[in-house]
Amino acid sequence: EAQVTQNPRYLITVTGKKLTVTCSQNMNHEYMSWYRQDPGLGLRQIYYSMNVEVTDKGDVPEGYKVSRKEKRNFPLILESPSPNQTSLYFCASSKSTGTNSNQPQHFGDGTRLSIL
Amino acid sequence: AQSVTQPDIHITVSEGASLELRCNYSYGATPYLFWYVQSPGQGLQLLLKYFSGDTLVQGIKGFEAEFKRSQSSFNLRKPSVHWSDAAEYFCAVGINYGQNFVFGPGTRLSVLP
């Protein structure tokens, strides 16, 4: 089954304690992206990756890091989480971009982070 | 700057009634347009998309949307709403050849029995 898998689904942690949210897709997609969803703001793009070892900032990258060492994985890293990063996070992937950029994204089920 | 607006935060309709959810975008070139639906506790599911060609596009679950370039709009419609359509709906724009996606704030749909 084609899917985007995020782990953990829920996490409560404290300010300053490094955490990683994993994202894995089994569709051999080149493009992957991270979003945060906050009430009244919709989804805002944090980082995206066009392919292995190619990442770039989205609209709200501050306080986050990503890496893309393998095509299937795109972890989101919070080096020193703060309460304003409490949010619902979604990972997404799509087949390709550029000249074939008309591809919809497939979303994971979300990770709810609470930073105390 | 690119933006997507969904003027209605919350809409309530009766089951069987027609539905229209509004979406307006601001983008200098022709965008790629998407509608997604999110049920509680779930990720986003694609309803339909527009890239080019026929401006009236059909999607899953009986939804359709019409792209109107002159109005920078991409409104979502359904002729008869079912109780299972209650969810949050997001309009999104793909820009920069699909490198970036901008989402609207969402419209929450409630359906009365």
Which residues from A are below 8 Å from B94, CB to CB? 101-102
pLDDT at residue number A111:
96
Taking residues B94-106, report their average pLDDT.
82
What pLDDT, in 10s, does the model give residues B42-85?
A: 889 999 988 888 899 999 999 999 999 999 999 999 999 999 99
pLDDT at residue number A32:
93
Q: Count Cβ atoms below 10 Å from residue A65 Cβ, excluding itself.
A: 14
Asked if residue A102 has pLDDT above 80, the reply is: no
Q: Do the Cβ atoms of A97 and B9 come within 8 Å?
A: no
Q: Out of A73-87, B21-35, B70-84, which region has the weakest mean confidence (pLDDT)?
A: B21-35
Kindly give, in sequence order, each residue whose CB lies less than 8 Å from that of residue B66, ignoring residues fewer than 6 positions away.
B55, B56, B57, B73, B74, B75, B77
Structure confidence at residue A85 as a pLDDT band (50, 70, 90): very high
pLDDT at residue number A1:
79
Mean pLDDT, chain A, as a whole number?
A: 91
Q: How far is A2 from chain B (nearest CA, A)?
A: 13
Taking residues B6-11, report their average pLDDT.
95
Write out the two tokens for B111: 């359906």
